[in-house]
């Protein structure tokens, strides 16, 4: 992802260089200082892109960071300071906050999920359920929240879903053939029932995903997979679908390797953060 292009598109969308309010009501020689303040606790993420937004508008803008990405913040904390031409600070405020609040929201929600599985062997993974064009940023935010990235796209890992299985006549043969060509790429198989789990084991998938199976069936399938594992072949087990903060601790006790949560990127609420501006 080209971050410069994303910022340019965002600034163009907001008409930053054609801000009629600032042009008509703020003198060109005016300067401004601003402080970014947290209105609620959470995990901060996106300070670099926040600073880059203002520098893209006017290189005279300066940003001094007080808190690093991935840090926990409390209500009232001063996160960073911005100074520069008043028109640039005013024009860039919303775009910069949009990036920062969205990414901090993802990091904060991820942290809540990660905290729930603390003390277990299970890791929290994200998914590909991200806003188009924002995936690299969203997955960075997940890491800031202590989560782990699943595949970045369709190109860096094999994930065989039910539709793939229905079109592939011999899964084991297909996977064996693939591994001869691509030795370092993981192969994961999504399973919705015990029969598919059996096929995935026979095919020696690197990762077996138990998709929307529910607690009891997931428990049974995890035991089944472990029983059919060996010193030479022990697949990772991933749970996915229908797991939320209320049910997470219960599922984490099953000791799956991975629990993937789509909502940490597609439904994370923005973190409440304010940029308080003082014009001189």
Q: Give CA–CA dist 133/140, Å, rounded.
A: 13
What's the Rg (C-alpha) of the chain?
23
Check if 111 is active-site.
no
> Which residue in 129, 179, 186, 204 is the catalytic one?
129
Check if 29 is active-site.
no
**Per-residue tokens: 2:** 């080209």
Which segments within the chain are labelled E, that is strand? 31-38, 42-43, 62-65, 72-73, 78-85, 123-125, 158-160, 187-191, 207-211, 236-240, 258-260, 273-279
Q: What share of the chain is helix, strand, coil (3-state, %, to 5)?
A: 45, 20, 35
The region, left, alpha or beta by phi > 0 then psi within -120 to 50, assigned to residue 119 is: left
> Which residue in 69, 206, 211, 238 is the catalytic one?
211
> Which residue in 161, 174, 186, 219 is the catalytic one?
161
> Which residue in 69, 77, 93, 190 is the catalytic one?
190
> Which residue in 12, 68, 94, 234 is the catalytic one?
94
Check if 192 is active-site.
no
Are the C-beta atoms of 43 and 144 separated by less than 8 Å? yes
What is the tally of helices (H) and strands (E) in the chain?
11, 12
Q: Which of 104, 130, 136, 67 is closest to 262 using CA atoms?
A: 130
Check if 253 is active-site.
no
Check if 129 is active-site.
yes
Active site residues: 94, 129, 161, 190, 211
């Amino acid at each position: 992802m080209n971050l410069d292009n994303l910022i340019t598109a965002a600034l163009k969308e907001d008409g930053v260089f054609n801000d009629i309010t600032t042009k008509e009501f703020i003198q060109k020689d005016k300067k401004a200082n601003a402080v970014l303040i947290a209105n609620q606790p959470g995990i901060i993420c996106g300070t670099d892109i926040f600073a880059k937004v203002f520098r893209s508008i006017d290189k005279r803008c300066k940003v001094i960071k007080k808190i690093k990405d991935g840090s926990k913040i409390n209500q009232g904390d001063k996160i960073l300071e911005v100074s520069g031409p008043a028109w640039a600070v005013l024009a860039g405020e919303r775009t910069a906050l949009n990036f920062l609040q969205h990414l901090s929201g993802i990091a904060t929600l991820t942290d809540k999920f990660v905290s729930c599985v603390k003390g277990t062997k299970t890791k929290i993974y994200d998914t590909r359920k991200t806003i188009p064009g924002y995936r690299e940023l969203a997955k960075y935010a997940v890491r800031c929240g202590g989560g782990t990235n699943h595949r970045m796209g369709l190109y860096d890992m094999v994930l065989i879903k039910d539709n793939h299985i229905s079109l592939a006549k011999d899964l084991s043969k297909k996977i064996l053939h693939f591994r001869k060509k691509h030795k370092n790429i993981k192969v994961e198989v999504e399973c919705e029932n015990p029969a598919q789990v059996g096929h995935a084991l026979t095919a020696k998938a690197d990762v077996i995903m138990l998709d929307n199976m529910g607690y009891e069936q997931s428990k049974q399938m995890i035991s089944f997979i472990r029983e059919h594992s060996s010193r030479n072949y022990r697949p990772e087990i991933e749970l996915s679908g229908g797991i939320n903060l209320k049910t997470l601790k219960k599922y984490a006790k099953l000791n799956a390797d991975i629990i993937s949560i789509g909502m940490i990127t597609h439904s994370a609420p923005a973190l409440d953060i304010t940029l308080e501006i003082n014009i001189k």
